[in-house]
Structure 1
Amino acid sequence: MNVLDIPDSGRRAESLDVSVARFLTCHQGLELGGLGGYAAERQKHAETFAHHKLPKHKINPIGTVESATIPGPHGAIPVRVLYPMKGRELRTKGDAGALVYCHGGGYCTGSVDEFENSLRLIAEKSGCLVFAFDYRLAPEFRYPVQLDEYSAVVDWVQGYGGRYRGVHPRRVVGGGDGVGGSMTAALCLRRRDEGKKPLAGQLLLYPAMYSPSSPPAADENKSGYYLEYDGLTGLIDHYLPLINAVPSYRKYVYPGAQGSLHMYGQPLAVIFTNGFDPLREGGIAHARAMRRAGALAAWKHYADLTHGWLRMAPWSPAAREATCYVAVALEMFVKVKPLEK
């Protein structure tokens, strides 16, 4: 992991990883922020990534999968709990680590079902339980509904929901990809401001930290690499409240725009960025800001990968390797030092 030398701009390889390029070629029309709109994208993503759609030989093994429902501020929240075979002895002692995962999808698409397979891999490699929840999607539900539900799940895992399953309340990490990464960073800021119990760490996979995205990544990766740059503004507009003149929401929508001075009291972060990603520079700038604030554990850059590789792991060895690295980072957070009960 590279901690010290974070450049102003991330390197882009000469070509996209072969296995990822092949996957995108074989799944024409699979994009985020495209001209077809969010309804068509929801259907296409579900057809491609849903767990029950995968061939058996692509499904990652897991100890146990539990479907739970918890009360939330806007209604019931479905939570899928992944129990790995690894780490059972820690659960019996109430000392296990956990990841609360907020999935990506541009606020408007995505479901836990589409992410379960890769999250199974993270759970088994790290030995940590994974709590993945289905938040209410935009534009039917707008900010701050999604953050409210994320915070409610974290409270539950840090409290009875986690203790009942053998999780140590101080070993609960938050994580997400794309807008899920942005919401993880935003939630850490909000929980600090509200005086709530912090997370043990944050895993930010190619997070959406700024709007609009910055050059040169936006120019290099405008179209054809899954996330469509021209559709980013529309996705954010779907997420924002209809009446958004009040500036108080901004740091919880654009957490990367806050700068190092506002990063005090934040959990340590591991930030992943990609060469073929229009969001690349925002993630790198956030890594630099977190480093200046002393809140960066590590930055990992994949010059030949694109946005959304977590769900591509069943088809791409490179994406699978990157997913395994997420598990390494998670395990680092929960095992970096003994935590008092």
Structure 2
Amino acid sequence: MPVRTYRPHTPRTPRTEDTGLPCLLYLHGGGFTVGSLDGVDEVCRLFSLHAECVVVSVDYRLAPEHPFPAAVDDTRAAHAWLVENAAVLGIDRHRIAVGGDSAGGGLAAVLCLDLRSRGLPQPALQVLAYPAVDDSYERPSWTEFADAPLLGTADAQWFRRQYVGDGDVAPDPLLTPLRATTLAGLAPAHVITAEVDPLRDDAEAYAQRLEQEGVPVLCRRYPGVFHGFFTEVGTFTKATEAVVDAAASLRNVFTGGVLPK
């Protein structure tokens, strides 16, 4: 499984004793069907610069050739590889965060649930940019923004079919994290949503549930932008703003602090 690694040129974030730099495991979006390392290159560079951390971007397998749970398996494997090889990679295994956009945000949320189910330590932070966390298509934004730019409701449903097929799928929190019985005990979360996005209400409902169940959460909605804006660094001012905001949260937790308000 290919990964791409980014390292800060002159990191100011202190190394911990006998360990390495903090790290962000990043998972690209694309409806579990498209997307690549190149598509999130600018985002990963910006995270490494502003969060002063190593970023490891994962080229997980894509549907329909590799349907669910292939992407989940790859996410789990990438995280385990980072933890097991942290010393060789110059990474502090106690300061590994996870993040992603859209489908990648969903995979980041899934990783936290998966680690909890196996009794393993949580990431330092989960950075979720308009994550795909449900497939009910019931909340108002799915209707309000059914024909939104870049991704509409019909597009999202098509991507979902590529990932899980046309038949009924048994409930599984590794597919729809919002339907997990409980979200208690998961990593703190920095959640990013776009105003004009059919996924907006699902992502904000996920943030609300996390907070209600005792997980520290910072949720920010960016006005005037649509699904996909987060990776358009250099095109939309809000994209850079959102990445820098999330990097501030990463910096805080990496240095022992809490999520900024």
TM over 0.5: yes
For residues 259-298 of structure 1, the aligned pairs below 5 Å read: 262-298=182-218
Contact 1:157 1:163 in 2 (8 A): no
For residues 160-239 of structure 1, the aligned pairs below 5 Å read: 160=85, 162-239=86-163
* Post-superposition offset of 1:337: 4.4
| 1:159 match | 84
Q: Distance in 2 between matches of 1:117 and 1:91?
A: 27
Matched, 1:256 2:181: no
| 2:70 match | 145
The residue type paired with residue 251 of structure 2 is E
* Post-superposition offset of 1:332: 2.0
Matched, 1:122 2:44: no
* Post-superposition offset of 1:229: 1.1
Matched, 1:299 2:219: yes
Which is further off, 296-305 or 141-150?
296-305
Contact 2:20 2:90 in 1 (8 A): yes
Contact 2:148 2:196 in 1 (8 A): no
- Indicate the structure whose relative CO is greater, using CA pairs within 8 Å and at least 6 residues apart: 1
| 2:56 match | 131
Q: How many residues align?
A: 257
Q: Distance in 2 between matches of 1:119 and 1:322?
A: 13
| 1:67 match | none
Which is further off, 117-126 or 212-221?
212-221
Contact 2:207 2:217 in 1 (8 A): no
Distance change (3 Å), C-alpha of 1:309 and 1:165: same
Q: Distance in 1 between matches of 2:220 and 2:18?
A: 33
- The residue matched to 1:192 in structure 2 has which SS? helix
Contact 2:26 2:56 in 1 (8 A): yes
* Post-superposition offset of 1:112: 0.7
* Post-superposition offset of 1:318: 2.0
Contact 1:181 1:207 in 2 (8 A): yes
Q: Distance in 2 between matches of 1:319 and 1:215?
A: 25
Which is further off, 291-300 or 274-283?
291-300
TM-score by length of 2: 0.91
TM-score by length of 1: 0.71
The residue type paired with residue 64 of structure 2 is P
Q: Distance in 1 between matches of 2:134 and 2:78?
A: 25
Contact 1:103 1:180 in 2 (8 A): yes
Indicate the percent of aligned positions where both proteins have the same amino acid: 28
* Post-superposition offset of 1:132: 0.3
* Post-superposition offset of 1:238: 0.9
The C-alpha deviation readout for 1:53-82, integer Å capped at 9, x for no partner, is xxxxxxxxxxxxxxxxxxxxxxxx101000
Contact 1:214 1:281 in 2 (8 A): no
| 1:24 match | none
Q: Distance in 2 between matches of 1:135 and 1:177?
A: 14
Gaps (5+ residues) in structure 1? 1-76
- The residue matched to 1:267 in structure 2 has which SS? coil
Gaps (5+ residues) in structure 2? none
* Post-superposition offset of 1:263: 1.0
The residue type paired with residue 253 of structure 1 is L
Distance change (3 Å), C-alpha of 1:159 and 1:273: same
Q: Distance in 1 between matches of 2:24 and 2:121?
A: 15
Matched, 1:313 2:238: no
